[in-house]
């Protein structure tokens, strides 16, 4: 067989043929590399990236420079195949990755960091050599370096703390961001915390409201500017001021949970806005009136808040047509609760009579009025289903304040606060750097 035929055999249907091809290519050593690189350059090649790697990783370090050459020569937009192979060469290529960290091309430096990060425990031995890239002049390189250190977790905390103390100076900011992501405030020194507090105070001097836009947006709206009173009634604690945009970003980040994350992690922290046009908003997944773990507690909280302040409402809104949930309480009683989440059974959440806004929208759409006997959504009632998907923000705009419409012109008094819930006190403050 020719060398190219051996390379094509890497994607053979029979495992024995594939293994034989790898063995023969490894025996050829560097002589097999030109044919392998030819297939790597060809996006239409039948030889998969995984198949190429099975040979390249076995040929060992001599494959590094040829693969790097293909990566550098790739046309922008068609480089992904070469990038995926380059960053997965593993520990045999570690020395090459370390050389590439100093490459003139920031694209190569980014790929080299990704490659080092893919070397598992071996990467930790050379983590100190990646420290300068935490302050790289290219933001893309810096971001990849920050992600790498964050993925290594507690093992690199002492190294990052030493960077904060001793430099290099350009890497100190990236090191602080990593420490906040890995270990929250516990990993950050008292000196750094004091500096961050000073930065926040400077930012607050000209802080302005911005739209509260999250992928999964949950909030409680209360008709008062008594921020401290609301927090006391809700049992929120350990509060500290943040710029409005930082609070929104934090609420958005906190609302995203991975498949392996404890679902209660999303409930650990909330953003409490300053008074906005006579209303105070508490923002975070903890406020979701439709979540199975929270629905009863949120209903009870809104009833208590409305008994004291007159009106309190809770909402959930999914920004990608995920649905809406609404709870309206006045003077101590729940007036209305409803939810529409495609694919979920939410009938058990239905409480109270339809609101005037619901009936008005039905009239506008030419639909019959809702009655006690006709509250369920008909499967063929497309117009009303689309209306329900947007119900949370639209109704909030009628009854209180639409968080998506908040901007610099919204009357605001006070400062926003991040605060822990009972989940946060039990599970600990969420990790993560504030985006300011």
Sign of torsion over alpha carbons 302, 303, 309, 313: positive
What per-residue confidence (pLDDT) applies to 259?
43
3-state DSSP call for residue 160? helix
Q: Which DSSP helix (H) or strand (E) runs through 177?
A: helix 172-183
Structure tokens at 435: 């985006």
Whether 316 and 298 have beta carbons less than 8 Å apart is answered as no
Answer whether 132's CB lies under 8 Å from 100's CB: no
- pLDDT for residue 203: 78
What gap in Å lies between CA 68 and CA 108, rounded to an integer? Answer: 8
Please name the helix (run of DSSP H) or strand (run of DSSP E) that holds residue 269, with its range, or none. strand 269-272
Distance CA 118, CA 95 (A): 13
> Could you tell me if 174 and 134 are in contact, meaning their C-beta atoms sit under 8 angstroms apart?
yes
SS3 242: strand
d(CA 249, CA 103): 34
At residue 267, the 3 state secondary structure works out as helix
Output the pLDDT for position 317.
97
Upper half-sphere CA count for residue 305 (Cβ side, 13 Å): 33
Q: What is the pLDDT of residue 103?
A: 96
Question: Which residues, in sequence order, are CB contacts of 218 under 8 Å at separation 6+?
Answer: 255, 283, 284, 285, 286, 287, 288, 289, 291, 314, 315, 316, 317
> Is the peptide bond prior to 415 cis by the omega test (within 30 degrees of 0)?
no
- Which pair of tokens denotes residue 182? 């890995």
What is the rounded distance in angstroms from the CA atom of residue 83 to the CA atom of residue 115? 9
From the CA atom positions of the chain, what is the Rg in Å? 28
pLDDT along the chain (436 residues), means of 10: 93 92 93 95 92 89 93 85 94 95 96 96 96 96 94 92 94 89 71 75 87 95 98 96 93 73 84 98 97 96 98 96 96 96 90 94 90 62 88 97 97 96 88 62
Structure token digits, residue 335 = 């007036």
Query: How many other CB atoms sit within 10 Å of the CB of residue 283?
Result: 26
Phi-psi region of 233 (alpha: psi -120 to 50; beta: other; left: phi over 0): alpha
Bridge-based pairing of strands 237-242 and 412-413 is unpaired
Beta strands in 273-353 (DSSP E): 275-276, 280-283, 311-318, 323-330, 333-340
Decide: 113 and 101 in contact? Cβ < 8 Å: yes
**Coil/strand/helix, residue 429:** coil
């Amino acid at each position: 067989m020719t060398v190219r035929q051996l390379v094509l055999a890497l994607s053979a249907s029979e495992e024995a043929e594939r293994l034989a091809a790898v063995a023969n290519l490894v025996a050829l050593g560097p002589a097999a590399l030109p044919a392998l690189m030819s297939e790597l350059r060809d996006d239409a090649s039948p030889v998969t990236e995984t198949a190429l790697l099975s040979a390249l990783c076995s040929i060992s370090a001599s494959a590094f420079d040829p693969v790097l050459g293909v990566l550098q020569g790739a046309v922008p937009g068609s480089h992904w195949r070469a990038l995926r192979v380059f960053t997965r060469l593993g520990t045999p290529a570690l020395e090459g990755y370390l050389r590439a960290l100093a490459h003139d091309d920031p694209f190569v430096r980014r790929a080299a960091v990704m490659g080092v990060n893919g070397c598992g425990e071996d990467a930790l031995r050379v983590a100190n050599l990646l420290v300068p890239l935490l302050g790289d002049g290219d933001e893309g390189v810096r971001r990849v370096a920050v992600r790498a250190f964050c993925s290594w977790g507690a093992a690199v905390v002492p190294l990052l703390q030493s960077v904060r103390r001793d430099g290099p100076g350009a890497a100190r900011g990236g090191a602080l961001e990593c420490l906040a992501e890995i270990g929250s405030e516990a990993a950050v020194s008292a000196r750094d915390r004091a500096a961050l507090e000073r930065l926040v105070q400077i930012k607050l001097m000209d802080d302005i409201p911005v739209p509260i836009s999250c992928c999964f947006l949950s909030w409680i709206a209360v008709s008062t500017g008594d921020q401290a009173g609301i927090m006391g009634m809700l049992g929120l604690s350990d509060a500290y001021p943040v710029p409005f945009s930082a609070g929104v970003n934090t609420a958005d980040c906190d609302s995203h949970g991975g498949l392996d994350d404890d679902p209660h992690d999303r409930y650990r922290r909330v953003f409490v806005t300053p008074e906005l046009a006579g209303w105070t908003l508490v923002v975070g997944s903890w406020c979701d009136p439709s979540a199975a773990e929270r629905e009863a507690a949120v209903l009870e909280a809104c009833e208590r808040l409305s008994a004291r302040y007159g009106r309190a409402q809770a909402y959930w809104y999914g920004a990608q047509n995920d649905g809406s949930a609404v709870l309206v309480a006045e003077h101590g009683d729940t007036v209305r609760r409803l939810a529409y989440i495609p694919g979920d059974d939410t009938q058990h959440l239905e409480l109270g009579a339809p609101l005037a806004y619901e009936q008005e929208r039905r009239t506008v759409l030419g639909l019959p009025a809702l009655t006690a006997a006709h509250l369920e959504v008909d499967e063929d009632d497309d117009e009303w289903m689309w209306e329900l998907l947007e119900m949370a923000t639209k109704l909030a705009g009628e009854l209180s304040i639409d968080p998506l419409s908040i901007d610099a012109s919204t009357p605001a008094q006070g400062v926003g606060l991040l605060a822990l819930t009972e989940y946060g006190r039990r599970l600990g403050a969420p990790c993560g750097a504030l985006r300011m």
